[in-house]
Chain A
Amino acid sequence: MFDSPGTAPASPVSRFVRRRRWSLCLVGAAAVSLASGLWLVSQRLGHPAFLSGGTLFACLLLLPLIGLRRRFPMLPLGTMSTWVQVHLYTGLFALVAYLLHVPRVVADGIFEGGLSWLFLGVSASGFYGLFVSRTAPRRLTAVPGNYRFGQIGWHRQRIAELASGMLHDLQSTPAAEVLGTFYQENLHPFFTSRPGFAYVALPTGTRRRRLLAGLGRIDRYLEADTQQAAGRLAALIRMRDDLDYHFALQLRLRLWVVFHAVLSLALLLASTVHLLLVLRFAGH
C-alpha cells in the first residue's frame, strides 16, 4: 500500500512507521475538521454539542464492530489487522471528539458524570490494551516455552508429576532425606498449586530465585545422585516458573479483553440512553 511502484519493497519497520504517520495525520485532520465544525456551529448560535455528541456516538457504534469481524471471519470484511488499525485510530479520534464534547473531561450531573467515567475507563483500558498487546507477546517470546492457555493446567500437572517421580527414584540416604525434606517443605506446594494472585498481577523472579537459592544452600549436604536430582528439580523449577509467567501474561491479556468488552458494552448502552435523553429534553 505504501510502496512506490518500481522501487524496492520497504522494510516492515518503515512501512509500519509510514502507516502510523498516515493514520495519525488522518486522525488529526478529522479532529481539526470536527473542531472547525463545532466552532462554526457555535458562532451560528447553534448547539455544537449535537455535532460533537453525534460524532462521538457514531464512533462508539463503529468501535465494537471489530468483535463482529472477529466472529464472522468468513465474511469478506477485510483483514483483522486492518480492523485493528481502524479500531485503534477510531478510538483515538473518539477520545478527541469526547474532549471536544466535554471540555471539562468529567461532565456535570450524576448520570452524565458516570457516563464520563465509563468512557474514560474504556479509553484507559483501550490504551492499556494497546500497550499490553504490544509488550506482552515480546515478553512471552523471550520466555522459553509455547503454552496454550487452555493447556497450562495440563503442563502444570505434568511438571508436578515429573518432580515427584524424581524423588521416588532416590534411595533412602541421609542426603535423600535432606532433599526430600526440602521438597516437601518448599517444592511440593510450589509444583502442586496454582500461582498466587500477587504473582499473576505482577510476575517477578523472586519466587524462582528463592527456591533455587534454597536448593543451592542444601547442595553441600547432598551426594552425587542427590545432587543430580537437585539439578533436575532446579530445571523443573525454572520450567514451572516460566509456565506461570506465561499463565500470568496470558491471563492478563484475557482479563483485559473481558474488562474492556464489558465496559464498552455498558458505555454503549448508557450512551444510547444519554442520546435519547438529549433528544427528548433538548427543546427550543
Chain B
Amino acid sequence: MRRQDFAPPPPPTIDRPADRWICGHAAEGNPCPHGPAADGQCSERGACHPRGEAGSWKCSRPACLGGKCEPGPAGDGSCGLAPTPCRPRRSWRWRRRRWLVGGAVATVGTLLVVLGGPWSSRLIRPGQLSQSHAQILGTRLASDRCAACHPAASNSPLDWFRSAGRGHEGVTQSQLCLDCHHAAIPRRQAFAAHNLTEPQWQRIDRRPTATATSWRDALPRPEFATDQVACAACHREHHGAAANLSAITNAQCQTCHQNRFAGFADGHPDWEDWPRSAASRIVFDHRTHFAKHFADPRAADAARFRDDCRSCHPATATGEPLRTVSYAAGCASCHQATLAVEAQQGVTLLAVPSLPDPAQAGLSSWPAAASGFYDGRLGPLLRLLLRADREVADALDQLPPDGDLAKLDPDDPGQRRAAPQVAAAVAKLFAAISERGRPAVIDRLVGQGVPAEAAQRIGRQLSPQLVRDARQRWFAPQRSNEVQRQPAPPRPAGSAAPGSAGPDTLLLDASEASSGTDPLGPGPRAETPRDDDLLGTDPLQGDPLQAASSGDRPAASGAGPPSTTAGREPFDADATMPGGGWFQDETRLAIHYRASEHADPVLQSLLEIAASLPRHAPERQALLSLPATQACLQCHSVGSSGSGLAWTTPAAAGLAASFTRFSHRPHLSLASLADCQHCHQLATGDPAAAVPRALPVGSSPASSHDFGPHDFGPHDFGPHDTRPRDLRPRDFRPLGRATCVACHRPGGASDACTQCHQYHIRPPHEPPPQVAGRLADPGGR
C-alpha cells in the first residue's frame, strides 16, 4: 500500500505560531479553535465557536476538526459539546525567547559575579605576568596586585563611568612603573627617547649618517612624540611567565630613527671609532709598550705582558676581561723604582722663609737661621693655606709667582712689604697648627672649596706634635743657644738627599763612596753664613729625646762645626722613613712630606685639591707641577664624572650603560677569537691611527698633556662638526663593521638591534662633560 492511498484529513489551519500559548490538545491532534488565553489559561469554551446567523446559532467547527458537531450550539450561543480543558503549552517561538532571555540573564549574572567578587582581579587578569613581576607582586594582596601597575585598579567598577578615579587621579601607568624602576631610570628623563634630555642629546651628533635611503624611510613615524615614550610602548605584560618583556623587533627599534635599514649586514651605518679606548682612566700607550718596553729583554716580565694580553686584562668570574689589573700586578715590576724616586720628593706643608731683617719687620722670635737675606720657597700647599686669610692672599700675589723669595726684587716696595707679612702669616700658621692641630689645616683648605675628604686625608697623616715641636725650637726666643740650621747629615753612599731626585752615584768617586762622605756635604757649607758659630748653640743640646732619635744614624763626618744646640742630631728621612711620612727638615726649616709608593694618600689628596681649584689659581698649576704629583699624572687622568680625579677605572670592559654594549665572554669562547689581537690590532704605523677623535661639546682642546683617554658619545666628523678633537694617535685600529658582520648576520649569530644596543642610556656624568685627562673645572671658573 502506498501513502497516497491514505486520505488523512487536512491539518488544522487555526494554529497561531506567533502566539505565546498553544492548546494542549494540539499535540494530540485536536486543538480547540479558541486557543489559550494570553495568560496561558485554557479558555474552556468547548470545541467550537458558534456563529450567530439570522437569530440562530450555527456550529462553526472547521472540517479539519471534525466539522459541525452533533449536538449543535446551545440556545445561548455556547458550544453544545462539553469543554475539554487542556494544559496550554508555550509555543516554539516563545520557548525560544525564554531561552534567549534566560541566556542573557545568566550571562549578566555570571559577569556580575566575575566582576563583583573578591576573585575578580584573578579572573579578569588577561594572562600571567612575567616571572619577575609575578614574584614581586605575589606577596601582595590580590586586591592590590593590579593596582601596582594599573591606576584604574584602585577604584571600584562604579568609578569606571566617572571622569577619573579617586585613587590615582592623574597618575599614569608609566609613573606606576617608575615607582619601582626609578632607581635605574630617572623619573624626569624616563619618558624621553633613550632617557636622554635635550642637553644630553646636544652632545650627541644626531645628524644622519651617510647611508643609502630605502623604502623603509617612508614608513610612518611612531604614534607618540619622542619626549612622551610610555613604558608600554615597548614593554607589554601579561604574556606569560616566560615572556621577554624587552622583546622588540628591529623595525620597531628603527621606527623613531630617520635612517632605516634592513639589517645589521644590510644598511647598518658604518662606524669609525669603536671600540673606543676611552673608558679606561689609566693613561697607557699600548703601542710604545709593545714596540719598545715589552720588547726590551731587560724589562722584567716583558715576555709575559707581550705574549698574553690577559696578564693585564684577566677575566673575571663572569668571563668579562678586566680593563686593567692592579698596579702591583701589572705596573710595579717596571715602574715602582722610578715612581718611588719621584714620589720621594713629596710636598712641603710649612717652610720658614728667610728675611733680611725680621726684627725690623716686627717679627720677634724669628729663627736666626732664617735671617739675613731673602730666601726660601713657599710651596703651593703652604700658599694655599695662607690664602685662607684675605690680606695674606693679597700679599702673596705681590711675591714672585712660584713663591721663591730668592727671586724677590729688593727694590720693589710692594714685595718688600709683602714678604714680612707673609712671613708673619707663616708663623701664625705654625702657631695655629700647634694649638688646634689638624683642624687648622683642614678648615683652611675646606674654606677654599677643597673637598673635605681630600683635606682630611692631608691632615690625617700629619702629627700636630711635629709642628709644635718645630715651632718651639725654631721660633724660640733668640738666645746664645739659638737654633741653628742643622747641616745636612752625611749620607751613605748611594742615598738621596732629602728632596732630591734620587741617589746620585755619579758624583761620588770610590773613596768618597767608601767613606760615606758627600762632596756636597757639610764641608763646603761650613763656609756659608748659616754655619756661623757666633749664632749660638743648640738649645736642645743634651735633650735625651734628640739623643735617642739620632742614635742609629751614622756619625756625621766633615759636617762642619757642631751645633751649639748640642744633642740635636740631623734627621735622615731617607734612611729612617723609607715608607714616607711627615718630618721636620732642619735644613730648610720646613715640615715636609715624603711619599714613597703608589697610591700615596697625601699625593692623592694633593691632586684632588688641585682639581678642585679654579683653573686660573696659581697654586693649581704649582701643585700639578710638583715632581711627586707629576709622577701620578703620568698615568692617571680625570674621570668623566666631572667631579675631579678618578683613580680607578671601570672594572669590566665593554659593559657601560651606553648606546652600545659588548660582552667579551661569548666571543672569547670561540677559538678563533680567543686571541685578543684578532680584534684589537695595534695601530703602529697605521694611517687610520691618525684619525682624530672628537671630544664632547663644551670641552676645549689643549695639549695632549691634558688629555686622557676619555670619551663620551658617538662621533661624527662631518664638515660642520666643531667639537674638539683628541689629537693623540690611537692605540688600536678601529674595529670595522665588516668584522662583526662575518658572524652577526641572518642565519648566523644574532643581528638584532638589541643584541648590541641599549635603549635605556645612563650617561656616566651630568653636564658639563669632562675632558679626559683634564682636571675638573667646577662652575666654569
Contacts and interface: CB of A to CB of B under 8 A. Distances in A.
A280 B252 contact: no
Counting chain B CB atoms within 10 Å of each CB, the highest count among A148, A151, A239 belongs to: A151
Contacts of B29: 153-158, 161
Contacts of B219: 40, 43
Nearest to A42: B252
Given A41-B223, A158-B8, A284 B111 contact: no
Interface in A113-133: none
Contacts of B146: 281
Interface stretch (B119-127, B508-516, B575-583): B119-127
A110 interface: yes
Contact of B222 (A44, A47, A150, A155): A44
B233 A231 contact: no
Interface in B126-160: 126-128, 146, 150-153, 160
Interface string A13-50: 00000000000000000000000000011111111000
A108 B238 contact: yes
A235 B6 contact: yes
Counting chain B CB atoms within 10 Å of each CB, the highest count among A111, A161, A228 belongs to: A111
A209 interface: no
B8 A283 contact: no
B124 A109 contact: yes
Interface string B84-112: 00000001100010011001101110010
A254 B17 CA distance: 14
B92 A149 contact: yes
Contact of B3 (A43, A235, A269): A235
B240 interface: yes
Contacts of A280: 152, 160
A114 B108 CA distance: 14
Nearest to A259: B99
B96 A277 contact: no
Interface string A131-165: 00000000000001100111101111111011000
Contact of A258 (B96, B108, B240, B252): B96
Interface string B1-19: 1110110110110010100
Interface stretch (A93-101, A175-183, A260-268): A260-268
A210 interface: no
Interface string A37-65: 00011111111000000000000000000
A110 B160 CA distance: 21
A284 B224 CA distance: 11
B6 A162 contact: yes
B172 interface: yes
B685 interface: no
Interface string B190-224: 00000000000000000000000000000111111
B230 interface: yes
A235 B107 contact: no
B107 A270 contact: yes
Nearest to A239: B3
B6 A239 contact: yes
Interface in A215-254: 228, 231-232, 234-236, 238-239, 254
A45 B233 contact: yes
Given A44-B255, A280-B160, A266 B103 contact: yes
Given A43-B219, A43-B252, A155-B8, A281 B238 contact: no
Interface stretch (B20-28, B309-317, B526-534): B20-28
A277 B100 CA distance: 25
B193 to A, nearest CB: 11
A112 interface: yes
Given A44-B222, A236-B6, A153 B252 contact: no
B150 A283 contact: yes
A261 B152 CA distance: 34
A44 B255 CA distance: 6
Number of contact residues on B: which range applies?
A: 35 or more
A231 B1 contact: yes
Contacts of A170: none
B11 A283 contact: no
Nearest to A112: B126
Contacts of A148: 11, 15
Nearest to B233: A45
Given A273-B115, A283-B232, A153 B28 contact: yes
A77 interface: no
Nearest to B106: A266
Contacts of A108: 126-128, 238-240
B111 A150 contact: no
A86 interface: no
A257 interface: yes
B153 A281 contact: yes
Counting chain A CB atoms within 10 Å of each CB, the highest count among B111, B151, B234 belongs to: B111
B251 interface: yes
Contacts of A235: 1-3, 5-6
B100 A269 contact: no
A148 B221 CA distance: 63
A45 B222 contact: yes
B114 interface: yes
Contacts of A151: 11-12, 15
Contacts of B15: 148, 150-151
A213 interface: no
A38 to B, nearest CB: 13
Nearest to B176: A283
B92 A150 contact: yes
Counting chain B CB atoms within 10 Å of each CB, the highest count among A110, A153, A254, A283 belongs to: A283
Given A151-B15, A232-B1, A270-B111, A284 B6 contact: no
A155 to B, nearest CB: 7
Nearest to B29: A157
Interface of A: 40-47, 107-112, 144-145, 148-151, 153-159, 161-162, 228, 231-232, 234-236, 238-239, 254, 257-258, 261-263, 265-266, 269-270, 273, 276-277, 280-281, 283-284
Given A155-B11, A283-B174, 20 more contacts: A43-B251, A44-B255, A108-B128, A108-B238, A149-B92, A150-B17, A150-B26, A150-B91, A153-B28, A154-B12, A162-B8, A232-B6, A235-B6, A261-B96, A261-B100, A269-B111, A270-B111, A273-B115, A276-B160, A283-B232
26 contacts: A43-B219, A43-B249, A43-B251, A45-B233, A45-B234, A45-B252, A108-B239, A110-B123, A110-B125, A145-B3, A150-B91, A150-B92, A155-B11, A155-B29, A157-B28, A159-B8, A161-B29, A228-B1, A232-B5, A234-B1, A254-B92, A258-B100, A261-B96, A265-B103, A281-B152, A283-B232
Which 4 A-B residue pairs are closest in the complex by CB-CB distance?
A157-B29, A108-B127, A283-B173, A262-B103
Interface of B: 1-3, 5-6, 8-9, 11-12, 15, 17, 22, 26-31, 91-92, 96, 99-100, 103-104, 106-108, 111, 114-115, 122-128, 146, 150-153, 160, 172-174, 219-224, 230, 232-234, 238-240, 249, 251-252, 255
